Structure 1
């Protein structure tokens, strides 16, 4: 059978996030002739020994070194044979209808060079990088100096994230996020893949720009939602992260801008990076992969559970809305976590629900078949992943952890 869709995922030390992602891809790809290619950038978390047996339908490529995002994507794409290419981050979750919806949209839109989707983070907040404008000199300066943040919905000052365009409606936009970027193979072959000069960050802006230059349009599609655990699978706010991010912006400017605009933009980029470091905003944060022993917590995950929602117990009651059939609950002391296990949910239903919750609420997430809980930094204090261990009574409670 001819492959319709090739999904390229690059991973680096995110095996539990990748496991969750592949489980969601498996469901979303039903009814579509799909191949999934994972390029692992020399992870030291046993990704290539742990996951292949759990996902025999996935082609795993061990790069042997950390090639960076752009070069690893290109390596995976050379093995792809689908009519459409989807670049997908490993810390994403697709709704059951995501692939069907976005393929239908791009097939019905002849001038589409690439399509991105409505993205939310793990706590349900809309991610503004789902749609962006080109970083022109003025747009970039407005963002770097903070005017874009002060006037996020302005057509002039907020153009970096196109804040004047409703995220609830589909639009032709200029820049899409590399976390989810779908291209027809014909377009990909015409414009080329990602530029290897970008190690990480900026490569999606560059590719989006080249698609526009080739005469196509980029579309933000609001008809489906995905979760992107943005910033929770990598160590951000470190000196290394700042250097990598702003170096990528510098590469883009040197490639596409010239003269005074280039000088001004490059100066603004490195002044911004220096200001972050000098102000002490950038600190090396611990990102331990084990649960904190300082926070007692009881977690129960049933085989037919789909999600685990965590909230805080306050004097006035429970700060978590009951969702679905309550399977297990353990109430701890006031201010500590209460964990509810919910049943019979689809990912699409979960995404709809989480967007109705107050921003910043602690959360934990679980899928049937996965071997870890994914949570917010606030929920887990100093960790984002909790591996699950078999319990004494696997028939009723197959996995659980108790600290």
Structure 2
């Protein structure tokens, strides 16, 4: 039984926004888990970015109560969420990826946590891979001059369990305690609709990646202190593979450079940007060195080719995403 809100005169407590693109079966599983695991009064707004796999038709057939926006073009993640949020009626907005499964009343648990910790203003939970192991990407520490140094030199990869040398990944913390974080990932992010509107939603300059980092940092600048809780746990499938993809890495670099431009203190921007620009080259050299020492596996050779591609395309990401 679910308290999903259908009528226009009854307002939901939370508006769950899902953005889909060619993920029909995962999206349907996600929507089923919301319906099965959520007792709080809620509405689901699903915006489909012109999927070619029949996602919109399948959702309309199985979930007539979902507020479906079947778009004729792919708006991307940030713009699609902004469009959907304009129609949200809940006191809270929950961003939820389509490749997730809600476990054990996670949305209800996250709402309860938000009410216990209202000063946080942004809330997230714990994410697991499909096999039940920890997916640590539910939250991140913000980029700093020190973290950029650790990333560029490889210290954050070599010493992943160290809070000192892997500050953005929070070291060995298993996401098994409630605590303040800098950034809650947009795969499972709750905030009040009033705050979302005050911030103007996602900055569309972040065409891909970095949107939630920018959103959280802008919220922190006006007093938010984001938190996550292990009581709200979901499965989030994406991220299990460590294989590099050239175009994805190019977009990620553009987002990171943009975050440095937007959020670092003035005097720190030049050294941070120059250090971070060297990261793909340093990783390329490191991967080549490991190949010489440990043998040239197919994965290492593939990563070397991808990193060479990324470095050859540095003019694309050198200055980050442009203003829109």
TM bracket, shorter-chain basis: 0.7 to 0.9
Gaps of 5+ in 1: 285-403
Unaligned runs of 5+ in 2: 1-9, 288-301, 307-324
1:361 matched to which residue of 2? none
Alignment of 1:39-78 (within 5 A): 39-78=47-86
- 1:265 pairs with one of 247, 272, 275: 272
Where 2:235 maps in the other structure, the secondary structure is: strand
Say which of 189, 193, 206 aligns to 2:197: 189
Change (3 A) 1:283 1:93: farther
- CA deviations over 1:165-191 (Å, ceiling 9, x no partner): 452110011111111000012322222
1: CA distance, partners of 2:138 / 2:46: 23
Q: 1:222 aligned to 2:230?
A: yes
Q: Is the 8 A contact 1:174 1:218 kept in 2?
A: yes
- Give the Cα–Cα distance (whole angstroms) in 1 for the partners of residues 89 and 257 of structure 2: 33
Q: Which has the higher contact order (CA 8 A, sep 6+)?
A: 2
Q: Deviations over 1:128-186 (max 9, x none)?
A: 22232111121122133321222233332121112254521100111111110000123
Counterpart of 1:156 in structure 2 is 164
More strand by share: 1
Q: How does 1:22-101 map to 2 (within 5 A)?
A: 22-29=31-38, 31-101=39-109
What is the alpha-carbon distance in structure 1 between the residues aligned to residue 44 and residue 280 of structure 2?
Answer: 37
The aligned counterpart of 1:238 is 245
Aligned equivalent of 1:141, options 124, 149, 161: 149
Per the TM alignment, residue 235 of structure 1 is displaced from its structure 2 partner at its CA by: 11
Taking the TM superposition and a 5 Å limit, the aligned residue runs for 1:213-362 are 213-231=221-239, 237-257=244-264, 259=266, 261-273=268-280, 280-281=302-303
Contact residue 152 and residue 282 of structure 2 kept, 8 A? no
The TM-score, its normalising length taken from structure 1, stands at: 0.65
Cα RMSD, aligned residues only: 2.3
Contact 1:131 1:173 in 2 (8 A): yes
Q: What SS is found at the alignment partner of 1:217? A: coil
Residue aligning to 1:20: 29
Q: CA deviation at 1:207?
A: 0.9
Give me the whole-angstrom Cα distance separating, in 2, the residues matched to 1:64 and 1:274.
Answer: 39
